[in-house]
Amino acid sequence: MRGVPPATRKPAQRVPELRALLRRANRAYYVDHAPIMSDPEFDRLLAELDALEKAHPELDDPDSPTHRVGGEPIEGFRTIAHRVPMLSIDNAYDTTEVRDWYARVLKGLSRDDAGLFDSTSKDVRLVCDPKIDGLAISLRYEKGRLVHAVTRGDGVKGDDVTHAARVIRAIPLVLESTTPPHVLEVRGEIYLPISEFERINKEREAQDEDLFMNPRNAAAGTLKQLDPGAIAQRRLGFVAHGRGEIDTEFASSYTDLLAQLRALGVPTNRHSIACEGIDKAIKAIEAFDRARHDLDYATDGMVVRVDDFASQAALGTTSKSPRWIMAYKYAPERTTTRLLKVEHQVGKTGKITPRAVMEPVLLSGTTVRHATLHNYGRVRDAATEREGERTDIRIGDLVQVEKAGEIIPQVVGVVLGERPKNAAKVTPPEACPRCAGPVEIEPPEGVEQPLLETARRCVNPECPAQIREKLVWFAGRKQMDIDGLGEKTIDQILAEPSIPLATFADIFRLHEHREKLLALDRMGEKKVDNLLAGIESAKGRGLAKVLSGMGIRYVGDTTSKLLARRFKDLDDLLSVGEESLRPKSLSRDAARALGFPDDPADRPETGLGKDTAPAVHAYLRSKAARRTFDDLARVGVDLTSHDYAAGRAAPQGPFAGKTIVLTGTLAGYDRETLKALLEGMGAKVTGSVSKNTHLVIAGNEAGSKLTKAQDLGVEIWDEARLNDELAKANG
């Protein structure tokens, strides 16, 4: 087809040509580190391919580069067992420990039964790899195609994140070989490039969201996403550094493995270096420490391993770690500077975090002016320059600063000998800095032992710092289920200042702004009318849905339903004292005084206990809560209980009073429908297995919850037993 313009070629010819070109571009960028086209050119060709595939669906291919931009969100994670366990690696923190490890390697390889060396004087070939601060992953290829991507998990089993791996451009969907191994498991690291990390944090800061602490946390949060489209936007990277199950002779050494993987189009780290003996390995470790700060990924050490696979097998493993590999960890860079003031930042969850404002200082190649102080407990109890001594952090102190994960600066100590006489104590805010609403402290005051504060939160659900996330939650399917009011629509409305949307009640006033809604991008009459109809319908959801949707701390879906069974309406709920919210935890005398039975098993279940009820009660009686409830009532939201159980006969049957956990896939039931059915028959359905669980109902591919139930001796039913019991209960 040389000389024929791309636009005039037939789709059946152009589509494979584009796919091959885009795959070659991915390999050039991620494997060869020699890009053959710019990002805009790649995007242009990808858009051309996408348009052709949509116009000619018969040419579609599930492994096409176009499928890397996203897809339908998955419903949840399933667990997959590793065919070969993913063991942890022992760490070393100085070169003496590295030499000690090498001495053990030499001793192990000189044993008579090893038969590899005649003496301990011979050097062993080692390979040093940068220790990328990411997430370990196992990629399983069968006949050259990616079939599973599984996280490390507990080393024996992990979460299936194939939906995420398929949208990471660095991971090949098809290996570059006409005769690949039937089974090839590639072990490696998924990471977030520093440039992407900084871009995402800038966007989160602009949206007043909590910043990610380091690239590893951001990568972990990305893999927990259920929406492949959201994952694709994060532009994660991947490098291979090991093997799992392989069904054929594939490589005799680690360096050979890396070469074979690169030939198949799998990225490996170009900074890997082979070394003869420990002296050269230590020189490589020291050299990389000087160079690593210029890389576009976070590193915290160097992994050193025996190169030869036969030697690895001879050395074997301990119960948790291979003997043939260790990780040298670099000491974090630290410097000192003066603390000028402390700002109090409110995150989307209401958490109030102290942030240090300091005299600018150069740290790991960048100028640092701000650093996290984590929480007010750490402010009150910080390490000093004198080992073992603790003190508080004060304004004016000379503080020690280092970068967590080499990225986020944090204050880690105080140079107490340099404290000025006028150093001022840091005063935690008693009210929310953004909305002046009530603040909750963790652990709560009055605990038996004096614990340091670990968190301070604004509990006003209409705090401006939290309102966007609260609105999204309130409108969600499991809460008020407002059809048409998803994240994108909420963001559109929030971006239009002439449409007020600052409270839950404002949602129900949107009908007053119909013309302004119509003026928004891609908001035609049908879409707006459907949205307003969905909002009107949501007014009648009842008390349980309102409580669940408000995002009150400790009041989720289960607790809100239990409270709605106990109280007939909002006024009934607000009229009781704190003890009435936790009848199960009351002493016999306290229970009698409130008219509850002596036996806790006979008292009503509210989902709240002695540690959580005080916080919920304090919020329900706060001015912020009263304003919220009054505003919802004014716009016509139903605050009566649709689940009130007083006066009804107590539920009977095999599910009444039982705490049940659902796990796996049940062929005949949707999870939410079954949950509602069981709750209607008197059960409490929770998400985790504990010693208080009465019953686990397990479907196909049940994972860790089933295992834990077996370990605890909890009763387990399959779907057939469930059907039998439901039939009996329904007569």
Q: Tell me, what's the pLDDT at 605?
A: 81
Task: From residue 322, give the alpha-carbon distance in Å to each of 21, 99, 109, 487.
Answer: 41, 17, 14, 46
pLDDT tens track for 173-232: 999 888 889 999 999 999 999 888 888 877 766 655 556 767 887 888 888 777 777 788
Of 576-585, 636-645, 660-669, least confident by mean pLDDT is 660-669
Q: Tell me, what's the pLDDT at 396?
A: 94
Reported residue count of the chain is: 731
Q: Tell me, what's the pLDDT at 499?
A: 93
Which is nearest to 156 in space by CA: 324, 320, 314, 313?
A: 320
Helix (H) or strand (E) holding 104: helix 95-109
Q: Tell me, what's the pLDDT at 647?
A: 45
| Strand, helix or coil for residue 283 | helix
In whole angstroms, what is the distance from residue 161 CA to residue 148 CA?
8
Which position has the token pair 């003890």?
Answer: 579
Q: Tell me, what's the pLDDT at 275?
A: 94
- Where along the chain do its domains lie? 6-69, 104-329, 334-425, 467-538, 543-634, 659-729
Q: Tell me, what's the pLDDT at 74?
A: 52
Q: Tell me, what's the pLDDT at 469?
A: 77
pLDDT tens track for 306-353: 999 999 999 988 767 899 999 998 877 788 999 999 999 887 668 898
Structural tokens at position 280: 């050269």
* Average pLDDT score over residue span 91-96: 88
Domain 6-69 has CATH 1.10.287.610: yes
Fold of 467-538: DNA polymerase; domain 1 (1.10.150)
pLDDT tens track for 14-61: 888 888 888 888 787 767 767 787 777 777 888 788 888 888 888 878
Please report which confidence band the pLDDT of residue 554 belongs to, taking 50, 70 and 90 as the band edges.
confident
| pLDDT of 358 above 90 | yes
In whole angstroms, what is the distance from residue 328 CA to residue 346 CA?
37
Q: In 102-142, at which residue ranges do the beta strands (DSSP E only) sit?
A: 125-132, 135-142
* Residues 6+ away with beta carbon under 8 Å from 359: 337, 338, 340, 369
> Do 428 and 376 contact (CB within 8 A), yes or no?
yes
More confident residue, 551 or 127: 127
| pLDDT of 255 above 90 | yes
Q: Tell me, what's the pLDDT at 117?
A: 54
| pLDDT of 122 above 90 | no
Catalytic residue among 10, 131, 526, 568: 131
Q: Tell me, what's the pLDDT at 266?
A: 94
Which residues, in sequence order, are bridge partners of residue 367? Answer: 362
Mind giving me the DSSP string for 318-364?
Answer: -SSSBTTEEEEEPPPPEEEEEEEEEEEEE-TTSBEEEEEEEEEEEET
Q: Do the domains 6-69 and 104-329 sit in the same CATH topology, yes or no?
A: no
In whole angstroms, what is the distance from residue 215 CA to residue 201 CA?
10
Structural tokens at position 510: 């949107």
131 is catalytic: yes
Helix (H) or strand (E) holding 157: strand 157-159
Structural tokens at position 36: 């053959």
Q: Tell me, what's the pLDDT at 651?
A: 60
pLDDT tens track for 397-452: 999 998 765 567 888 889 988 999 999 999 999 999 988 888 988 876 544 445 67
Q: Tell me, what's the pLDDT at 510?
A: 94
- What mean pLDDT, rounded, does the chain reach? 84
Fold of 659-729: Rossmann fold (3.40.50)
Fold of 543-634: DNA polymerase; domain 1 (1.10.150)
* Average pLDDT score over residue span 703-713: 81
Q: Tell me, what's the pLDDT at 149?
A: 92
**Is the torsion defined by CA of 55, 61, 62, 64 positive or negative?**
negative
Q: Tell me, what's the pLDDT at 604?
A: 82
In whole angstroms, what is the distance from residue 289 CA to residue 328 CA?
11
* Average pLDDT score over residue span 634-661: 78
Helix (H) or strand (E) holding 717: strand 715-717
Structural tokens at position 507: 């949602």
In whole angstroms, what is the distance from residue 627 CA to residue 206 CA?
29
Q: Tell me, what's the pLDDT at 116?
A: 54
Please report, as a single letter, which amino acid is at residue 90. Answer: D
pTM of the full structure: 0.52
Please report, as a single letter, which amino acid is at residue 148. Answer: H
The hierarchical CATH code for the domain 334-425 is 2.40.50.140
Q: Tell me, what's the pLDDT at 319?
A: 66
| pLDDT of 571 above 90 | yes
The hierarchical CATH code for the domain 104-329 is 3.30.470.30
* Residues 6+ away with beta carbon under 8 Å from 640: 542, 543, 568, 569, 570
Which residues, in sequence order, are bridge partners of residue 366? Answer: 363
